């Protein structure tokens, strides 16, 4: 009786703890869309809080974003390549943590690839932007307008000569068909470009020709400081003409016209000007005046005109250096460059010492500001990365998988329970009770550990059920043998459990060792399988030798045993 008491107290205590651990998961899984909406209206954020406490579902069950990146090791110094991938993984993990994705899978694949799985995250574009952004933040001054004009004139001259040479060569070699095909396209592009800038400038016509200004034909100045009436080299380019401008800048003849200490840089994102989508093109001094790694206490803010900003503080030598830079360039624009693209180029109104502000472009949204905040806080990636594969697992597919998996598990479990009850009769029902407790305890522990349930995890649960059934069969067959030998019910139950214990323990311990090895060496879904298997096997031992034994002990006084 004493042995039954402690087992009874232990079982009741574990049932209570398991119910507490599984409560949040049970509440969340039983909420439908209307319930969630009602909860959110009554207390905003309550659904997200409940979801955070409930057992999470993996990418294969609830959908999400799957991205494969390649770290471009060839673009960094050989001495920095050894740990570049590992550092990139840590920085990506920090960025993902900032955006609140639960249980992301971020792991290395091969020498230079990283796999990122974001379960439940549906904003694939933002995930791609956040994860792949190198976030090399630099502050650069703009070239003077006089020097910029000189460079632009040289480019126009070079492009004019190139165009003349190409037309001459074409006229000598071409056929009539080629000439007829080329001519309408050039004329159309010329007319379209004129129309766009006429719209931007509010003019009816423009007195320009492609022959005189083949490059600056596409540029329209916009950066003007009214406080000192100075013009700075910032230009608007129609989105449809961006590729044409890029092609000219990529020509070797044009590159030779650009001094080594000068660079052209596009704006981070397009804007809408006069109902046209445009990009901004800046002419910068190549020299980096200040690096973003010196920024501290980064947070979101609002500018003078309620535009989105990212505020920061500086300290120590960085503060003094930034004060010298801004003090020496008052009334000049300072370009904020992220990954070689200009976020904005605000004018310096006064010396900035301890605190500063990155003013986002006029087209920037709050999400753009949040992205910049995240990447600056998490740090810059050690090397550029390229996205070589991106898959979005739809929510519908995830729901279908969950529903099918749930029904198949219920049907499979019911068939197993029915078979055991049919074959071992009342003793089979006792084994069924043990199986149900086994499954309940396992889900509760996984919920309490905030584990993520994946398809491999479900496979581990199914394997656990199989082992639990096998343990009960071993016990029952031993009890049958003892009953057939003429022993009493009490003696048969004790002997059956005693004789089966060694075989059950042997099988469970070897499986536990395998699960532990899979968890230590494996990664991602393999670990999910190992976690469910490890805890499932431990619980199987408990339910088979404590709970079912407790019920059988209560029936020892019976003269017969239904088995």
Number of residues written out for the chain = 563
Q: Using the predicted structure, report yes or no on whether residue 76 has a pLDDT greater than 60.
A: yes
Q: How far is Cα 518 from Cα 529, in angstroms, rounded to an integer? A: 8
Tokens representing 485 are 């030998």
Question: pTM value?
Answer: 0.51
Can you give the three-state secondary structure of 449-486, one letter per residue? Answer: CCCEECHHHHHHHHHHHHHHHHHHHHHHHHHHHHHHCC
Q: E strands of 347-416, at which residues?
A: 355-359, 385-393
pLDDT for 238 equals 92
Token pair in block for residue 259: 């001094």
Q: Is 69 exposed, middle or buried (0-12, 13-18, 19+ CB in 10 A)?
A: buried
Asked whether the CA dihedral 57, 61, 64, 68 is positive or negative, the reply is: positive
Which pLDDT belongs to residue 281?
A: 94
Alpha-helical segments (H) within 72-111: 84-98
Q: Strand 224-225 and strand 271-273: pairing?
A: unpaired
Q: How buried is residue 480: exposed, middle or buried, by Cβ count under 10 Å (0-12/13-18/19+)?
A: middle
Tell me which of 27-31, 292-296, 323-327 is least confident.
Answer: 292-296
Nearest to 160 by CA among 251, 280, 238, 235: 251
Number of H helices, E strands in the chain: 17, 20
User: Which of 391 and 113 is assigned the larger pLDDT?
Assistant: 113
pLDDT of residue 149: 93
Within 205-250, residue ranges assigned H as helices are: 242-250
What local confidence, expressed as pLDDT, does residue 524 receive?
64
Among 143-147, 273-277, 381-385, where is mean pLDDT lowest?
Answer: 381-385
The predicted pLDDT at position 249 comes to 93
The reported pLDDT for the residue numbered 380 is 66
Of 61-65, 493-497, 498-502, which gets the smallest average pLDDT?
61-65
Strand partners, 156: none
Q: Is 231 exposed, middle or buried (0-12, 13-18, 19+ CB in 10 A)?
A: middle
pLDDT of 403 above 50: yes
pLDDT at residue 193, as a whole number: 43
C-alpha separations of 385 from 51, 67, 291 in Å? 33, 12, 20
Percent of the chain at pLDDT above 90? 11
Instruction: Give the DSSP per-residue string, 124-142.
Output: HHHHHHHHH----EEEEEB
Of 40-44, 102-106, 113-117, 391-395, which one has max mean pLDDT?
Answer: 113-117
- Which secondary-structure segment (H or E) carries 533? helix 525-542
Can you tell me the distance from the alpha carbon of 484 to that of 427, in angstroms, rounded to the nearest whole number?
A: 16
pLDDT band at 189 (very low <50, low <70, confident <90, very high): very low
Distance CA 197, CA 393 (A): 43
| HSE, side-chain direction, 13 A CA sphere, residue 476 | 23
- The region of weakest confidence among 210-214, 414-418, 507-511 is 210-214
Determine the Cα–Cα distance for residues 452 and 391; give it in Å rounded to an integer.
20
Higher pLDDT, 52 or 441: 441
Q: Which helix (H) or strand (E) holds 262?
A: strand 262-266
Contacts of 419 (CB under 8 A, 6+ apart): none
């Amino acid at each position: 009786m004493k042995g039954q008491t402690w087992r009874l107290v232990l079982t009741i205590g574990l049932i209570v703890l398991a119910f507490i651990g599984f409560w949040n998961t049970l509440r969340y899984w039983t909420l439908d869309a209307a319930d969630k909406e009602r909860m959110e209206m009554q207390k905003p954020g309550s659904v997200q809080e409940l979801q955070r406490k409930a057992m999470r579902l993996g990418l294969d069950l609830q959908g999400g974003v799957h991205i494969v990146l390649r770290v471009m090791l060839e673009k960094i110094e050989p001495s920095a390549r050894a740990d570049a991938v590992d550092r990139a993984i840590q920085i990506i993990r920090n960025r993902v943590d900032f955006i609140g994705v639960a249980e992301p899978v971020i792991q290395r694949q091969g020498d230079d690839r990283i796999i990122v799985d974001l379960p439940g995250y549906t904003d694939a574009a933002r995930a791609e932007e956040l994860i792949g952004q190198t976030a090399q933040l630099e502050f650069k001054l703009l070239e003077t307008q006089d020097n910029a004009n000189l460079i632009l004139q040289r480019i126009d001259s070079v492009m004019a000569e190139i165009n003349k040479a190409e037309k001459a060569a074409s006229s000598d070699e071409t056929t009539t068909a080629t000439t007829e095909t080329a001519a309408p396209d050039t004329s159309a592009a010329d007319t379209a470009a004129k129309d766009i800038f006429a719209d931007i400038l509010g003019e009816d016509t423009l007195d320009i020709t492609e022959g005189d200004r083949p490059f600056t034909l596409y540029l329209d100045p916009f950066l003007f400081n009214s406080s000192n009436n100075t013009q700075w080299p910032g230009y608007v380019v129609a989105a449809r003409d961006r590729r044409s401008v890029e092609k000219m800048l990529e020509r070797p003849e044009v590159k030779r016209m650009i001094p080594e200490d000068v660079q052209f840089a596009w704006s981070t994102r397009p804007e809408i000007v006069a109902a046209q989508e445009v990009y901004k093109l800046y002419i910068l001094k190549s020299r980096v005046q200040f690096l973003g790694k010196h920024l501290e206490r980064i947070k979101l803010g609002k500018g003078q005109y309620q535009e989105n900003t990212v505020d920061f503080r500086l300290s120590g030598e960085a503060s003094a250096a930034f004060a010298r830079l801004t003090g020496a360039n008052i009334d000049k624009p300072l370009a904020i460059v992220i990954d070689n693209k200009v976020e904005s180029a605000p004018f310096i109104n006064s010396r900035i010492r301890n605190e500063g502000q990155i003013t986002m472009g006029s087209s920037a949204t709050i999400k753009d500001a949040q992205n910049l905040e995240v990447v600056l806080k998490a740090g810059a990636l050690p090397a550029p990365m390229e996205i070589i594969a991106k898959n979005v697992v739809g929510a519908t597919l995830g729901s279908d998988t969950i529903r099918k998996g749930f029904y198949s598990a219920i049907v499979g479990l019911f068939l197993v329970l029915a078979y055991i009850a049919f074959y071992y009769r009342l003793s089979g029902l006792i084994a069924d009770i043990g199986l149900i407790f086994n499954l309940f305890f396992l889900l509760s522990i996984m919920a309490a550990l905030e584990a993520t349930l994946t398809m491999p995890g479900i496979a581990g649960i199914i394997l656990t059920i199989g082992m639990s059934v096998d343990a009960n069969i071993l016990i029952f067959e031993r009890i049958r043998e003892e009953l057939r030998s003429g022993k009493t019910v009490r003696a048969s139950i004790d002997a059956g459990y005693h004789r089966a214990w060694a075989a059950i323990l042997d099988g469970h311990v070897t499986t536990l060792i395998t699960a532990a090895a899979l968890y230590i060496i494996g990664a991602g879904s393999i670990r999910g399988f190992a976690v469910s298997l490890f805890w499932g096997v431990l619980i199987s031992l408990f339910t088979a030798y404590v709970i079912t034994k407790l019920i059988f002990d209560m029936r020892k006084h019976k003269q017969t045993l239904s088995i």
